[in-house]
Amino acid sequence: MAEKIIIDTDPGQDDAVAILLALASPELEVLGITAVAGNVPLTLTQRNARIVCELAGRTDVPVYAGCDAPLKRKLVTAEHVHGKTGLDGPVLPEPTMPLAEGHAVDFIIETLRREAPGTVTLCPLGPLTNVATALQRAPDIAGRIRRIVLMGGAYFEVGNITPTAEFNIYVDPEAAEIVFRSGVPLVVLPLDVTHKALVTGPRNQAFRDLGTPVGKAVAEMTDFFERFDKEKYGSDGAPLHDPCVTAWLLKPGLFTGREINVEIETVSELTLGMTVADWWGITDRPKNALFIGDLDADGFFSLLTERLGRL
């Protein structure tokens, strides 16, 4: 029985690869894609999500537009990483599939109320504004969500947008606090693990060697997307942050982590958006998240490449 998921996303080249991996995998049933403002404004993230669905030949998957700004703060975007369109790299046609009617938050609430309790997983790949808004507007859905598997945060790796905060959490820390305190089972893929999923030259070449439009587009996306991390960290390729969420759902055995307490800094300007992860169990705060620290990178890339080859 395929796991029913909703992908909440701010494409973003790495979001695009995460979506493609999900659409290529029969173990997952993508009920819908909900776009949120993040890497680029909402008008672009909802456009980019539709471009990715068309690239995958999956215009049957509804794409909804969601929140265009964080709960309480001004939107911070990341064109410096993802380019002006948010999907720079490949030249892809404008989408022709229409945006689905209605707000993404209503889609999340209605879907969770319609599907059997404990059967739908939320996969946030961007700021948590849509998910937090749904939880605030319909508290009853918290008990109906199977689990939330999200890309966000950092502990040993610390920040990528400030010295202490990872982008998705930093953009909407109040939303993150709502999600991390919701009591919903959480699996967190932080920079600690995603910075180990690097698209090295041979891995990029393997995408090209697929000889398909998807393989070529993914190679071009990751070629573009790697500049920021190469300059900043001297990384040996682009870190595939968001695809770690999809891969964890498909093969959790590729990853290792700990059930720990994770709280969100929402007050201090200095450390705003920090995921304060009690990795060493120093406090008696409730263990609210499976916090992933490591992965089998070769296993991850062979899974990803094989699945992309199916599109």
Asked if residue 39 binds ligand RIB (CB under 6 A), the reply is yes
**Catalytic residue from among 80, 103, 195, 241:** 241
| Cβ atoms of 95 and 50 closer than 8 Å | yes
Helix H or strand E encompassing 24: none
Asked if residue 10 binds ligand RIB (CB under 6 A), the reply is yes
Instruction: In whole angstroms, give the CA distance from residue 289 to residue 236.
Output: 29
- Partner whose footprint covers residue 8, from Ca ion, ligand RIB, none (CB < 5 to 8 Å by kind): none
Q: CB within 8 A of 36, min separation 6: which ones?
A: 8, 9, 10, 42, 45, 66, 67, 104, 126, 127, 129, 130
* Minimum gap (Å) between residue 82 Cβ and Ca ion: 9
Instruction: In whole angstroms, give the CA distance from residue 305 to residue 128.
Output: 28
Quote the strand ranges of the chain, DSSP E: 3-9, 28-35, 63-65, 120-124, 145-151, 186-189, 198-199, 238-239, 255-260, 262-264, 275-277, 289-295
Instruction: In whole angstroms, give the CA distance from residue 148 to residue 172.
Output: 17
Asked if residue 122 binds ligand RIB (CB under 6 A), the reply is no
At CA 7, angle to CA 132 and CA 86, rounded to 5?
95
With CB under 6 A as the contact rule, which of the stretches 8-16, 204-212, 260-268, 288-296 interacts with ligand RIB? 8-16
C-beta of 129 vs 261, nearer to Ca ion: 129
Amino acid at 203: R
Asked if residue 197 binds ligand RIB (CB under 6 A), the reply is no
- Partner whose footprint covers residue 160, from Ca ion, ligand RIB, none (CB < 5 to 8 Å by kind): ligand RIB
Asked if residue 125 binds ligand RIB (CB under 6 A), the reply is yes
Asked if residue 126 binds Ca ion (CB under 5 A), the reply is yes
Subset of 134-173 contacting ligand RIB (CB under 6 A): 151, 160, 166-168
Q: How many residues bind ligand RIB (CB under 6 A)?
A: 15
Subset of 226-285 contacting ligand RIB (CB under 6 A): 241-242
With CB under 5 A as the contact rule, which of the stretches 121-129, 134-142, 156-164, 204-212 interacts with Ca ion? 121-129
* Minimum gap (Å) between residue 240 Cβ and ligand RIB: 10
Active site residue 241: yes
Asked if residue 14 binds ligand RIB (CB under 6 A), the reply is yes
Instruction: In whole angstroms, give the CA distance from residue 159 to residue 294.
Output: 17
> Which has the closest alpha carbon to 155: 60, 258, 25, 297?
258
Instruction: In whole angstroms, give the CA distance from residue 66 to residue 59.
Output: 19
* Minimum gap (Å) between residue 176 Cβ and ligand RIB: 12
Q: Which residues are catalytic?
A: 241
- Contacts with Ca ion, residue ranges (CB under 5 A): 10, 12, 15, 125-126, 242
- Contacts with ligand RIB, residue ranges (CB under 6 A): 10, 12, 14-15, 38-39, 125-126, 151, 160, 166-168, 241-242
